[in-house]
Chain A
């Protein structure tokens, strides 16, 4: 059973705000939520992480529902450079913190000029 469910693809125009959703209905109390993105010919790049409520950094913001079963990555004012595959990951930090970062299929974001 997949730990996360994301839409396989999304489209947006430059300058729009994009919200990428991720469902993690079986998230455990010890698990954190991470978002990464991958552009062609590069490894994934960390965007943001959170446990609950709302997190913001210079790149994106992350809203996590009260029951933690749903998270939404928000990208303000997307540009062509934001075209990438966005991965939502939940993982237990545990004793081997970060040891099992499991990637699903991700959401492919297409940005049109």
Chain B
């Protein structure tokens, strides 16, 4: 079985700081995703990538950059952290074909002080 790993698990940043979150998967999945989840809410799509070096904006891309350096990794950058921001960022991957489900990582918990 494969695994999807997000690093770091916890991230504390300062207002205005650029912060990078990383995601690795060994499923050999083509498509990878970054979602944001605020406390008690559903997930919102930030960016996704259907293949290496591809980037597609989701509904919440403003304030974020992403990079798909290779098939197995997808990183997300918060370009300027907002004070008191607190959220969980979830990475997922899928084969991208019909009948494919998503596999999610455990998340990176961000707190901006």
Shortest distance from the beta carbon of B94 to any chain A beta carbon, whole Å:
5
Stretch of A16-24, A75-83, A103-111 at the chain-chain interface: A103-111
In the complex, whether A60 has a CB less than 8 A from a CB of chain B is: no
Q: How far is the CA of A68 from the CA of B56 in the complex (A)?
A: 30
Interface residues on A, range: 20 to 34
Q: Which DSSP category, helix, strand, loop or mixed, fits chain A's interface?
A: loop
Q: Which residue of A lies closest to B35 (CB)?
A: A103
In the complex with contacts A96-B50, A98-B94, A98-B96, A43-B45 CB distance below 8 A:
no
Cβ of A41: which chain B residues have Cβ within 8 Å of it?
106-107
Q: How far is the CA of A46 from the CA of B104 in the complex (A)?
A: 9
Cβ of B96: which chain A residues have Cβ within 8 Å of it?
96-99
Q: Which residue of B lies closest to A42 (CB)?
A: B106
CB-CB contacts below 8 Å: B55-113 with A: 56, 58-59, 90-92, 94-107
Q: How far is the CA of A93 from the CA of B50 in the complex (A)?
A: 13
Shortest distance from the beta carbon of A2 to any chain B beta carbon, whole Å:
10
Other-chain contact of A104, B31, B42, B91, B102 (Cβ < 8 Å):
B42
In the complex, whether B43 has a CB less than 8 A from a CB of chain A is: yes
Chain B interface residues (CB < 8 Å from chain A): 31, 33, 35, 41-45, 48, 50, 56, 58-59, 90-92, 94-107
Q: Other CB < 8 Å A-B pairs besides A97-B98, A98-B31, A106-B42, 8 of them?
A: A49-B99, A87-B42, A93-B98, A96-B56, A97-B94, A98-B100, A99-B33, A103-B35
Which 6 residue pairs of A and B lie closest in terms of their CB atoms, listed nearest first?
A: A43-B104, A46-B101, A103-B42, A103-B43, A98-B94, A43-B90
